[in-house]
Amino acid sequence: MGTVWEASDELLGRSVAVKELHVGDGTESAGALREARTVAQIKHPHVVVVHDVVEHDGRPCIVMELVEGRSLADRLAADGPLDPAETARTGLALLGALNAAHARGVLHRDIKPANVLLEAGTGRVVLTDFGIARLAGATTISETGAFVGSPEYTSPERMQGAVAGPEADLWSLGVLLCAALTGESPFHRDSLGGVLHAVVYDEIRPPAQAGPLLPVIRGLLERDPERRLGAAEAERLLSAYVTTGTVPLVDRVPDPTPARAVRPVRRLWLIAAALVVVAVAGGVTAASLLGDRTEGRAHEVTPSAPAGASPATATPATVTPATASPGAGVTPKPAPTGYRIVTDPQGFALAVPTGYQRTTDDQRVFHSSPDGAIRIGIKVTPSASEGPLGAMRRADAAGPDTNPGYRDRSVVATTHNGLPAALWEFTWDGFTRAEGARHTFDLCWDEDGRMYDVWVSAPVSRLAEARSRFDAALDSFVTGGAASARP
């Protein structure tokens, strides 16, 4: 979008940064100057200071303060990810900058680590490069077919060519927080088509490193802008974490709404020929029944199971090589390295780590690590009227009564392979003091009249390993005739 020069202000004797914008004809140049002048009116300590807007040799130029330091992208590349506390402080600074810009009717539209500067010596976080900012109401694809923004950080509504408001910048902030915690965007793929598909369609799985910031990140990465976490609430949660080290409990899941028509994807052929991106409806009307959903009674099977848990019994499972046919109408996917495909008598198959032991009770199937600390659980029930989201909300409401120290919870509507789903995550004190607190990742969805519920529970000290097991289970999970044929 432009070239940035280090320059000298000869009148005031100071170093400045001058951004020479790359625009087309006189009309575009005039528009860029108007927008730059609007940005110059934004006054906030975390927004780069614009000194002047001029035209030189027919090109608009923005004269800005020179921030001595490096970008967040450079910081991540050189020193690795930020910790949650530093990420929260960075997020708060950027929220302040965005609030100031949005109050002026300006959308940044390109929030990413490369556009966040970290001033040396002071640690000041500075949001810069409003070069592609547009006044609220503009779209993502220009009339010439150019993509305006950075795809990995662009909101779904902008990907779809829809009119975008301040909520689009909040989505980008959520992606940036993920990148700060891990070093890269969760939507990073090897091709532009893959990025677009991931942003608009794929199941969203925040990184395990999100930890205590998960409710904020989950809220910001809500595909429906009307349900996305607002700036004020995000600021409240991040401020609480910076001050106290914990994020307050928040139930940000709205009441279920009727399913809406899939929003159209417009003009994406201008970006990637023959790419088809399917948008996901924001509402959920499918049904499910989970029954008892609590960690202590429904998720865990231990030698000293809590009251109400049925004793687990070892049951043989069919171990299926990736090249063999498992029967029962289930066609498995290849097993990742270190895993094996297990076909279950209940009519599903999934990948479990080598060495995990299968047990069952009257309703659930478990695959536990050799030391018993990490457990993969699966439950299959008939669908019911409350749907995946309703079932998870009910389980969440019962959490404090059945899980001592129930905290860091999050319930969000999502999708799994294009089907309505709900994701529930929480931490609790665990079964023993020696083992410590545990965290659970739990996804349920409706498919062919059945509710499939898959979760992984593990000590918080092994969170990354648990998330890897959870992702592998979901990526490999397939159903077949045995499940759909059950009464």
Give catalytic residues, as residue numbers: 110
Q: How far apart are CA 236 and CA 362, in angstroms?
A: 44
* Angle at alpha carbon of residue 366, lines to 361 and 370, rounded to 5°: 125
* Angle at alpha carbon of residue 367, lines to 363 and 368, rounded to 5°: 120
User: Which helix (H) or strand (E) element contains residue 428?
Assistant: strand 419-428
Among 487, 203, 484, CA closest to 348: 484
DSSP secondary structure letters along 267-294: SGGGTSTT---PPPPS-----B---S--
Tokens encoding 397: 């409401």
SS3 424: strand
Q: How far apart are CA 446 and CA 451, in angstroms?
A: 5
Tell me how far apart the terminal alpha carbons of the chain are, to the nearest angstrom. Answer: 60
Q: How far apart are CA 298 and CA 378, in angstroms?
A: 10
Contact status, residue 55 vs residue 37, Cβ threshold 8 Å: no
Q: How far apart are CA 217 and CA 168, in angstroms?
A: 14
Burial of 317 from C-beta contacts in 10 A (0-12 / 13-18 / 19+):
buried
Contact status, residue 233 vs residue 217, Cβ threshold 8 Å: no
Q: In angstroms, what CA-CA distances link 298 with 291, 306, 366, 438, 462?
A: 9, 10, 11, 14, 21
Tell me which residue has tokens 């060519």: 161
Give 39-43's long-range contacts (Cβ < 8 A, gap of 24+). 39/101, 39/106, 39/130, 39/133, 41/104, 42/100, 42/101, 42/104, 42/106, 43/100
Among 126, 136, 121, 134, CA closest to 94: 126
Q: How far apart are CA 166 and CA 115, in angstroms?
A: 17
Backbone φ and ψ for 62, nearest 5 degrees, come out as -110, 125
